[in-house]
Amino acid sequence: MKPPRWIQGPLAILVWVVAVQPAHSQPDFSGTWILDRTSSQIPAPRGIPEWLLAGELTFAINHQGAALKIERRVKAPLVERSLVTTYYTDGREVVNRNPRGEPVHSRSSWQGNVLVTELRGTVERNGKKETMEGKDVLRLSDDGRILTLESIRRVGGDTDAQQARLTFVKR
């Protein structure tokens, strides 16, 4: 039995909207993000002076399609630094450089609405090269105003991984 003619049009539109709607859309991380220190958990990295940790950290993110370009800017007394990295959310491997210029291989992919990046590289510590492995989890709040980065790093034979949870507010 066919529905009445007056309901066929709206019903067809509803079916079309549901059919073309993606199962879930990934967030767009684009924007300028300022670190909120009061909501973040930041361990003091080995060898980093305390005064540098007191600086302002900003992420400028350009997210278009699978390409995610992040410019990290640190502004502390007497020093300003910037580091640009690019990731691909479709699982492609990419090589970026850490602040010391050492290569870091990474692969990013979506797990629902969360972007997970697996990292590996070598770092120099105590005059010798050691393997670094890590994982970054990037998520956006439902209202799109809070960006959270959960980061885990393990270097060499360390038994404890270094963990951080950075919370950013959209400017």
Q: Express each pLDDT in 83-101 by its tens digit.
A: 999 999 999 999 999 988 9
Tokens linked to 162: 């270094």
SS3 18: helix
pLDDT of residue 159: 81
pLDDT of residue 5: 58
User: Which CA distances in Å does 96 have to 82, 101, 105, 107?
Assistant: 14, 9, 7, 11
Residue 8 has pLDDT above 80, yes or no: no
Instruction: Please answer whether residues 135 and 149 qualify as being in contact, where contact means their C-beta atoms are separated by less than 8 angstroms.
Output: no
> pTM surpassing 0.85?
no
Q: Express each pLDDT in 22-54 by its tens digit.
A: 455 899 999 999 999 999 998 876 556 665 567
Please state, rounded to an integer, the average pLDDT across all residues of the chain: 86
Determine the Cα–Cα distance for residues 81 and 73; give it in Å rounded to an integer: 6
φ/ψ of 18, rounded to 5, equals -65, -40
Q: Express each pLDDT in 115-125 by its tens digit.
A: 999 999 998 88
Tokens linked to 152: 């885990």
Q: Which of 13-17, 67-71, 129-133 has the lowest mean pLDDT?
A: 13-17
| Sequence-distant (≥ 6) Cβ neighbours of residue 89 within 8 angstroms | 26, 66, 67, 68, 108, 109, 110, 115
pLDDT of residue 43: 82
Give the CATH class of 25-170. mainly beta
Instruction: Please answer whether residues 59 and 170 qualify as being in contact, where contact means their C-beta atoms are separated by less than 8 angstroms.
Output: no
Tokens linked to 105: 């291989």
Tokens linked to 118: 């697996």
| Residue labelled with tokens 């967030």 | 27
Looking at residue 20, what DSSP letter applies?
Answer: H
pLDDT of residue 125: 80
